[in-house]
């Protein structure tokens, strides 16, 4: 398989998985105009803190079995072995999630006192909101493995169908509970539970077809030991995406959490792009590991990934302020109370570009079964994140939280690069990456000038100047230009 054909396969599945993930996560963007126009910063801050804890608990509910499942399910050579892997994983998750949900449900009154330290408006019933989160977590956990099967078997179209239906239900439920039932912030969590329960019901046929009602303790141990190092990594990433809100709630105010929640959601548009790569990357690089040109594939993948990320970075930077101020009657795309949070968006975007590099650096530790190194890399990121949040938020407020996220992802990517190179050296194209960075920096500075911000057509020209600048300055290799012309010519797509 040629290098460019491998790249085409990677980006095809990345595009489909990414579309599914973007559709799923786009619910946050679709509902952001509703939330920022209806809810005060304080009310949106309460929702932001609880959703932060939900993100952290999601990983605890799965406890790394997803990584072990994907690793051994893809490698399984026969259907009975795959059924055993599926059933063992599912039974384990059913038992642990039911137990954990019961404990948390009973502890809800005590949890409500601990999760939020800032004064909460009397209209909120934190006990109820916490229990709605617990119920949604239980449904999401049971539906997780069937969806993971679709990824492992590269059934990307079926996967995206589930995501589309989930978003449709979530959007309709939000409109129903917030507008029709007038349940305020509580409606957000009823809507989340409704969409989670619907997805679980939709996956039941897949559960029935795959389950073999067999359980293997030795296999579970193997899955657990492989995936265990991924749990701290996942928790660290969730913590780096969430700790800032917890620090803001304790060191600043719920109002700051609400503002940051808006800005970080806009910045997470880059996270959606990176997630597309994250979904397709592990199955892809494991499948091409035995190719003679595998190292070239991994090296070139990072260059192309960063190039796409920089283009998206410029796209959002150029149009963020004008688009957020668009109005329909008395409403704006983003509520005026939240416009000041736009200033942190470029920093959040850059943070996720470092996360993209971190994902590429997975190759060495995965191929050599040295996933323990992921723990050390993520611990470095967490340490930087916690220290930076504690040091910067008291003086910089939401800006400090954004920079803390950037510093932490940089530390995590740099650490994993060092460890991965020890396992499986890859000669990354650092000169070309520097080339990309310099061009992006120049165009970003121009994009943020008052003249460009005041005239959208100048922003469009500047954005089109990104690929043109790469061509003019000699970024593309001759063989690349020729190969891509053949690959994407009519009849070869």
Residue 126's closest CA among 142, 102, 146, 110?
110
The torsion angles phi and psi of 332, rounded to 5 degrees, stand at: -110, 160
Residue 361's closest CA among 272, 475, 281, 275?
281
Q: What is the pTM of this model?
A: 0.77
The helix-helix angle for 3-38 and 156-175 (nearest 10°) equals: 10
**Residue 368, pLDDT score:** 83
CA angle 71, 76, 82 (to 5 degrees): 95
**Residue 311, pLDDT score:** 94
Q: Which residues pair with 328 in a beta bridge?
A: 331
Kindly state the DSSP code that residue 178 receives in the 8-state scheme: I
Residue 65's closest CA among 191, 225, 200?
225
**Residue 493, pLDDT score:** 46
Q: Which residues contact 128 (CB under 8 A, 6 or more apart)?
A: 186
Q: How far apart are CA 374 and CA 399, in angstroms?
A: 28
**Residue 302, pLDDT score:** 92
CA distances for 318 relative to 22, 48, 312, 338, angstroms: 21, 27, 10, 18
Residue 162's closest CA among 205, 193, 133, 132?
205
Query: Do the beta carbons of residue 115 and residue 130 sit within 8 Å?
Result: yes
**136: which 2 tokens?**
């949604």
Residue 7's closest CA among 405, 298, 268?
298
The helix-helix angle for 108-115 and 126-152 (nearest 10°) equals: 90
Q: How far apart are CA 302 and CA 158, in angstroms?
A: 28
Residue 33's closest CA among 354, 332, 257, 322?
332
**448: which 2 tokens?**
């943020």
The torsion angles phi and psi of 476, rounded to 5 degrees, stand at: -80, 135
- Rounded to 10 degrees, the C-alpha dihedral 406/407/408/411 comes to 120
**Residue 1, pLDDT score:** 47
Find the largest Cα–Cα distance for the chain: 66
**Residue 392, pLDDT score:** 97
Q: Using a CB cutoff of 8 Å and minimum separation of 24, what contacts does 396-399 make?
A: 397/248, 397/252, 397/256, 398/248, 398/252, 398/256, 398/259, 398/260, 398/263, 398/341, 398/344, 399/343, 399/344, 399/347
pLDDT tens-digit profile, the chain (493 residues): 455 565 565 556 555 655 666 676 667 667 888 888 888 888 888 888 888 888 889 888 988 888 888 788 877 777 888 888 888 888 899 999 999 999 999 998 888 777 776 666 666 678 889 999 999 999 999 988 888 888 777 677 787 888 888 889 999 999 999 988 888 889 999 999 999 999 999 988 887 777 777 788 888 888 888 877 767 667 777 777 788 998 998 898 888 999 998 898 888 888 878 877 887 787 778 778 778 788 888 888 899 999 999 999 999 988 888 888 888 777 788 888 899 999 999 999 999 999 999 999 988 888 887 878 888 888 899 999 999 999 999 999 999 999 999 999 999 999 999 999 998 889 999 999 999 999 999 999 998 888 888 788 888 898 888 988 888 888 877 776 776 566 555 545 4
**Residue 220, pLDDT score:** 87
* Cα Rg, the chain, nearest whole Å: 23
């Amino acid at each position: 398989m040629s290098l460019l054909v491998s790249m085409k396969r990677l980006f095809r599945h990345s595009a489909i998985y990414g579309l599914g993930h973007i559709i799923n996560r786009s619910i946050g963007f679709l509902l952001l105009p509703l939330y920022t126009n209806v809810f005060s910063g304080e009310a949106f801050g309460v929702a932001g803190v609880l959703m932060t804890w939900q993100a952290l608990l999601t990983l605890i509910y799965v406890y790394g079995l997803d990584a072990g499942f994907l690793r051994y399910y893809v490698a399984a050579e026969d259907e009975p072995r795959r059924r055993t892997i599926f059933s063992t994983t599912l039974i384990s998750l059913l038992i642990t999630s039911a137990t954990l949900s019961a404990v948390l449900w009973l502890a809800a009154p005590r949890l409500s006192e601990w999760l939020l330290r800032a004064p909460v408006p009397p209209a909120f019933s934190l006990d109820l909101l916490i229990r709605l989160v617990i119920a949604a977590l239980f449904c999401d956990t049971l539906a997780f493995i069937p969806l993971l099967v679709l990824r492992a078997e590269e059934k990307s179209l079926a996967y995206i169908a589930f995501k589309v239906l989930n978003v449709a239900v979530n959007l309709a439920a939000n409109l129903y509970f917030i507008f029709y039932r007038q349940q305020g912030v509580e409606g957000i969590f009823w809507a989340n539970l409704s969409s989670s329960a619907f997805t679980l019901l939709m996956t039941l046929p897949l559960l029935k077809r795959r389950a073999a009602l067999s359980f293997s303790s030795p296999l579970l141990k193997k899955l657990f030991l492989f995936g265990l190092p991924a749990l701290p990594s996942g928790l660290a990433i969730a913590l780096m995406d969430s700790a800032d809100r917890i620090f803001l709630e304790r060191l600043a105010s719920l109002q700051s959490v609400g503002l940051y929640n808006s800005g970080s959601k806009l910045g997470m548009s880059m996270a959606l792009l990176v997630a597309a790569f994250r979904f397709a990357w592990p199955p892809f690089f494991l499948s091409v590991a035995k190719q003679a040109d595998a190292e070239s594939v991994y090296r070139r993948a990072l260059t192309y990934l960063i190039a796409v990320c920089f283009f998206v970075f410029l796209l959002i930077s150029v149009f963020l302020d004008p688009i957020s101020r668009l109005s329909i009657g008395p409403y704006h795309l983003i509520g005026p109370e939240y416009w000041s949070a736009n200033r942190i968006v470029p920093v959040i975007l850059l943070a996720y570009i470092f996360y993209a590099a971190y994902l590429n650096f997975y190759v060495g530790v995965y191929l050599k079964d040295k996933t323990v190194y992921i723990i050390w890399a993520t611990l470095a990121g967490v340490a930087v994140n916690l220290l930076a949040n504690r040091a910067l938020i008291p003086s910089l407020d939401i800006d400090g939280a954004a920079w803390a996220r950037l510093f932490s992802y940089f530390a995590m990517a740099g650490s994993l690069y060092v460890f991965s190179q020890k396992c499986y050296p890859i000669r990354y194209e650092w000169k070309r990456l520097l080339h990309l960075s310099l061009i992006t920096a120049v165009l970003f500075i121009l994009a943020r000038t008052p003249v460009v911000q005041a005239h959208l057509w100048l922003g469009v020209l500047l954005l089109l100047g990104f690929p043109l600048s790469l061509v003019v300055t000699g970024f593309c290799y001759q063989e690349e230009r020729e190969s891509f012309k053949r690959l994407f010519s009519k009849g070869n797509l």
